A = this chain, B = another copy of it.
Amino acid sequence: MLSKGNSKYLRSLHQNKFRRKYGQFLAEGTVNVLDFISGPLKVIQLYATEKWLTEHEAKFSGIKSEVVSLKEMEKISALKNPSEVLAIVEKPNVTTPDISLINNYVLGLDNIKDPGNLGTIIRTADWFGIKDIVCSGETVDAFNPKVVQATMGSLARVRVHYTNLAAWLGNKPGDLKVFGAVLNGKDIRKAAKPGKGILLIGSEAHGISKTLYPFIDRPFRIPAAPGAGAESLNAAVATAIVCYEFCKTGS
């Protein structure tokens, strides 16, 4: 049975300030947890139903585990629909990439607030081979349980950094281009794709912050159909199209 102290500690990790303080976060759901177990981050402890632990026993040898009931899971889960497993994972120690050394595509996210969108973006970046995402300080925390949930395990592979984007972009070398998604940019299909650069995406409501405009070398847009009614695309959808178009995957 879960002790009061454990339960309190687990619930504290629903909040960013405690995730920062303790350097740990929660992952929930079978896909997520198994991806963390087989990935590079350290899984500290599992809390799961007896059934789950029995079924997946072979996959987590060496990791401490504790049986919890579904009722107890409801108390410690940060999700609306708790799953059968929850893990405490060590936050990775990431350093914002040195912009002068970048030689592939890196995503820059300015002010993405919706946890589901950020999680989906991390998952999509993983699919298209993007390893680093650099976020403005206002972007939602990647270790927020709802973000972790939406990544479907990809947070075990993609590094997410938080920094002052203007200061970071200010140090970029001349041959590294910043591609910015803006309303009146060039048709994304016709933009040059040099194989490296910063792909900068802003929020749905406000776009890229004005303070970052001076750093955009190549403004682009995703054209709508003539006469289309929608005013904008969802942030995760727009980012996915950008990743698809820039990262030429496939045979």
Residues of B within 8 A of A207 (CB): none
A 239-250 to B, binary, CB cutoff 8 A, 1 in contact else 0? 011001101011
Chain B residues whose CB sits within 8 angstroms of the CB of A250 once the complex forms: 187-190, 223
B-side contacts of A157, CB under 8 Å: 229-230
Interface residues of A, CB < 8 Å — how many? 44
Q: Nearest chain B CB to A244's CB is how many angstroms away?
A: 5
- Contact pick for A120, options B31, B237, B247, CB 8 Å: B237
CA distance A222 to B190 in the complex (A): 20
B244 and A244 form a contact (CB under 8 A): yes
Which B residues lie within 8 Å of A150 (CB)? 234
Task: Give every chain B residue within 8 A of A229 (Cβ-Cβ).
Answer: 35, 39, 126, 153-154, 156-157
Q: Is the CB of A228 closer than 8 A to any CB of chain B? A: yes
Q: This chain: how many copies in the complex?
A: 2
CB distance from A33 to the nearest CB of B (A): 14
Quick check: is A127 within 8 A (CB to CB) of the other chain?
Answer: yes
Q: Give complex CA distance A226, B127 in Å.
A: 9
Which residues in window 68-110 of A have CB below 8 A to B? Answer: none
Whether A225 lies near B247 (C-beta < 8 A) is yes
Interface code A132-161, partner B: CB below 8 Å = 1, 0 otherwise? 000000000000000000101110110000
Q: Give the one of A39, A127, A190, A223 with max B CB within 10 A.
A: A127
State how many angstroms separate the Cβ of A105 from the closest Cβ of chain B. 10
